[in-house]
Chains A and B, each alone.
Chain A
Amino acid sequence: MKAETSRWKTALALLLTAIMLFPVYWMVNSSLTRDADMRRTPPRLFPTDPTFEGYRAVFDQQLPYLGTSLVIGLGTVVLTLMVAAPAGYSLALLRPRGGSALSFLLLSAQMIPGIIMAMGFYAIYLSLGFLNTVPGLIVADSTLAVPFGVLIFTAFMSGIPRELLQAATVDGAGPVRTFWSIVLPVSRNAVVTVSLFTFLWSWSDFVFASTLDGGGTHQPITLGIYHYIGNNNQQWNAIMATAVVASIPTTLILVAAQRYIAAGATTGAVKD
């Protein structure tokens, strides 16, 4: 009886997952469909006669975009960690006066829509000649992640046992040494969580890329897809192949680090 209902639940869950992931399947299926079959009715539900011309187009045209996205993503991660980790340490363990006001500011900062920041950055970059540069985009992308990063680090580091820090102090370690050799290594999970989210957000960013890097020579993959959609409406298998390739980081992260993602989503929302 028990096993019976459990089997039904598994079957239902499989069905729901299939419905939920159908668009993802359809993206992969379309990326393998021949141009000639693209617009036929009924559409082919399975890639029985696959073609790789879409992927060939990706490798011919989109590799520079992917490279730029990788550089921007990694740069954003480094910048975010450099700003957020010390801040989390201070807010969680050093009790700065006015710390809660700062936390409140960071929380409010998350509410600011990207388009607002994009216009402000555009005005600033224009006068500084910083438009269409990779470092400029790294700085803008990091604004998506820094408030979240501080939140995660603060939440995580608050859980570090005080005895550990006191032991370090007794051994003569200053705050910098304590931070670098004790707090940071112990907070490895937080570092991973923040890095993963930061990378994903930076990799996926479209608003900053299209406003601040619209005319650049080094453009990220989101603009690569966007140009595809705008310019050649016909070649949907190439568009979908690019979309599949652009989803690789997501897939890797889900396979390798799913628990960090769940942890990141729930920090701050669920108190235990």
Chain B
Amino acid sequence: MDSTRLAGRAAADAPVSAAPRRPAPARARRTARARSPQWTAWAFLAPVVAYLLLFYAYPLYRNLDLSVRDYTVRSFVSGDAPFIGLDNYREVFADKTFLPALWHTAVFTGASLLFQFSIGLALAVFFSRHFRLSVLLRALFLVPWLLPLIVSASTWSWMLNTETGVVNHLLGLVGIGPVGWLTSPDWSLAAVTLANIWIGIPFNLVVLYSGLQAIPQSLHEAAALDGANAWQRFWKISFPLLRPVSAVTLLLGLIYTLKVLDIIWIMTRGGPVDSSTTLATWSYRLGFGSMLPSFGPGAAVGNLLVVTALVFGLLYIRAERRKVLA
């Protein structure tokens, strides 16, 4: 690696040193550089390329390799697990956890996105009418997003505790009986979704707020002169003009939500009886959640998750392309 780089430099220097009698150094260096702007550009990219190969491509390859071999704890260490093709995937598809996990992932992601986005948008519109303290309060809204997930998750576990949690206490004041948020299979998915919505609102608020700021005020003024009320101005002006920003926000939200693991794992470990298991927590449990890890199926579940995220990402990019071309 180093020797090729030196060779490359020597080759680039050669014509310079061969240039007769005009050794004005600044000029010579400039011609050498002009000959290899691509070389320079890629030299600056070399660290990130090496990084991507070593720390992205290689782990991904190892993960793919895990998913097509029959690993046990022993063969994991010795590294001679037999190749079994797609058996791990077949096993995963046939597992009775698969369909519920897929369904929970869809519900968790769909509900999170819907509420994060609509609440975030409502707040963004609200905060874009400047009033006293609006800047400070908007900043405070960022807190849930920036807290370590384990902090938020353990706080919510404590608040949603069936007997002593403050949420059940407040519900009790209005006559709603104790809800087994984290202990009842009927509620666990709702509980983790609630926590995730809370965490996701700030991001939606910040991005949509700055999207709203980018819409020219004159459009609103013109519409107001034409007699449009605030409601009409929002639906006829802000909302359509916000579409590109909304699309990115939803896409990023989707990608982040598909990945969510910490919150669910810390609050419920996917339980009780798998009632809040998503693909991400299932994969984690298979690989690391027990004394007897099944890395092969765990990696297979994880790869299904990557494919899902990539499909949505590509759909988005295609939609963007079409819009640019149109």
Contacts and interface: CB of A to CB of B under 8 A. Distances in A.
Contacts of A40: 164
B310 interface: yes
B284 A115 contact: yes
Given A39-B163, A247-B151, A109 B214 contact: no
Interface in B133-162: 133-134, 137, 139-144, 146-152, 154-159
Contact of A258 (B142, B154, B280, B287): B142
A109 B58 CA distance: 13
B173 to A, nearest CB: 9
A27 B147 CA distance: 12
B134 A43 contact: no
B303 interface: yes
Given A42-B169, A123-B63, A10 B133 contact: yes
Contact of B132 (A6, A82, A210, A258): A6
A58 interface: no
B155 A254 contact: no
B164 A41 contact: yes
Interface stretch (B2-10, B95-103, B247-255): B247-255
A40 B49 CA distance: 57
B115 interface: no
Contacts of B56: 109, 112, 117, 143
A222 B44 contact: no
Given A43-B166, A114-B261, A23 B140 contact: no
A78 B28 CA distance: 35
Given A90-B41, A175-B33, A206-B150, A41 B169 contact: yes
A12 B141 CA distance: 14
B298 interface: yes
Contacts of A39: 163-164
Contact of A123 (B76, B140, B164): B76
Interface string A119-146: 1111110110000000000011011001
B150 A226 contact: yes
Contacts of B210: 262, 266, 270
Interface stretch (B12-20, B82-90, B184-192, B198-206): B198-206
Given A6-B131, A113-B309, A207 B151 contact: no
Q: Is the interface of A mostly helix, strand, loop or mixed?
A: helix
A254 B142 contact: yes
A150 B47 CA distance: 12
A111 B309 contact: yes
Contacts of B288: 118, 122, 210-211, 214
Contacts of B63: 116-117, 119-120, 123
A77 interface: no
A221 B149 CA distance: 12
B29 interface: yes
A159 interface: no
A254 B313 CA distance: 31
A261 interface: yes
B239 interface: no
A97 interface: yes
B48 A113 contact: no
A272 B249 contact: no
Interface string B166-204: 100100000000000000000000000000001001010
B207 interface: yes
Contacts of B129: 9
Contacts of B228: none
Contacts of B76: 123, 126
A219 B286 CA distance: 23
A21 B313 CA distance: 32
Interface centre among B40, B258, B298, B303, by most chain A C-beta atoms within 10 angstroms, is: B40
B220 interface: no
B283 interface: yes
A20 B207 contact: no
Contacts of A64: none
A68 to B, nearest CB: 14
Interface string B22-44: 00001001100100011011101
A266 to B, nearest CB: 4
Sorted from nearest, which 5 A-B pairs have the closest CB atoms?
Answer: A120-B59, A204-B148, A96-B41, A94-B41, A90-B44
5 contacts: A9-B129, A9-B134, A115-B284, A116-B60, A270-B211
